[in-house]
Amino acid sequence: MTESTNRAKKTSWAQWRYLVVASACVVLAALAAALLALPDLPVAGAGGATGAADALGAGAGGTGADSCPRWLYLVGTCVLVAVVEELVFRSLFLRAVRRVCGPKATIVATAVVFAALHGLPIGIEGDPVAELVAASLTLKFLEALAFGIVLAAMLFRGGTLPLVIALHAVFDIIYFAGPVLIGGDFPATYAATTPAGFASLAAATLILAIPAACALRFPESSFSLGFPEPH
């Protein structure tokens, strides 16, 4: 067995190891965030949620979550969002940036834009404390930044676009399961002004930061896109 063959096998194993570890961290981050956010959700039977029957059964009419089973509304929306966002950020935009930047710069640039769009102060109602809103949106930016780095790095470490889309969808389904299945709909904003909300964002951010930091420590020579490089 030649030295080049050994090197190729080690590279392949390192890439697969990163894909497995990164995928596990993404799922763990979503689970941690979902569980820690439970105290902020409405109690079943009080307000909009009426238990498992509403979550699993179809509504009698209306729009959004009320026009179909909540689980279907959750899965369908998350899959659609994952497909659109990954096609835009990790396919079209990533290819465009890769034409003028190296792998690491491409990963970071696409992640920054992805994170910026997720940290916008949209859907904030009432008169929350400005400092709390700013802090939670900053934390959301960091969470989305780490998530974007991980997803882009996976493409440069042997992953494929369908894999990244699937992982993004799984993350969102777990992340938003509570608000949709119990609360009845997706939250209007990412801004968190309660201890549970901050804990949820912080847990997801810290867990996603692990594979994100690992990705940025890899040498440039170890990165290669899972689809043809743009020229």
Query: pLDDT band at residue 224, thresholds of 50, 70 and 90?
Result: confident
Greatest alpha-carbon pair distance for the chain in Å reads 68
Each residue of 193-203: pLDDT tens digit?
A: 788 888 999 99
Q: So what's the pLDDT on residue 229?
A: 59
Q: Of residues 100 and 223, which shows the higher confidence score?
A: 100
Q: Is residue 200, in this structure, part of any structural domain at all?
A: yes
Q: So what's the pLDDT on residue 80?
A: 98
Q: Is residue 85, in this structure, part of any structural domain at all?
A: yes
* Spatial CA neighbour of 166 closest among 220, 90, 62: 90
Task: Determine the Cα–Cα distance for residues 160 and 157; give it in Å rounded to an integer.
Answer: 9
Q: So what's the pLDDT on residue 26?
A: 98
Query: pLDDT band at residue 3, thresholds of 50, 70 and 90?
Result: very low
Q: So what's the pLDDT on residue 133?
A: 74
- Lowest-pLDDT choice from 26-30, 125-129, 155-159: 125-129
Type of residue numbered 36: L
Mean pLDDT calculated for residue range 3-26:
75
Q: Is residue 2, in this structure, part of any structural domain at all?
A: no
pLDDT exceeds 70 at position 113: yes
Phi first, then psi: what are they for 101, rounded to 5°? -130, 160
pLDDT exceeds 60 at position 18: yes
**230 φ/ψ sector (left φ>0, alpha ψ -120 to 50, else beta):** beta
Q: Is residue 157, in this structure, part of any structural domain at all?
A: yes
Task: Determine the Cα–Cα distance for residues 217 and 149; give it in Å rounded to an integer.
Answer: 12
Q: Is residue 17, in this structure, part of any structural domain at all?
A: yes
Type of residue numbered 95: R
Q: Is residue 227, in this structure, part of any structural domain at all?
A: no
For residue 205, give its domain range: 13-222
DSSP SS3 for 95:
helix
Each residue of 23-71: pLDDT tens digit?
A: 999 999 999 999 988 887 765 444 444 444 455 554 444 445 556 899 9
Q: Is residue 59, in this structure, part of any structural domain at all?
A: yes
pLDDT exceeds 50 at position 6: no
Q: Of residues 140 and 44, which shows the higher confidence score?
A: 140
Q: Is residue 3, in this structure, part of any structural domain at all?
A: no
Domain count, the chain: 1
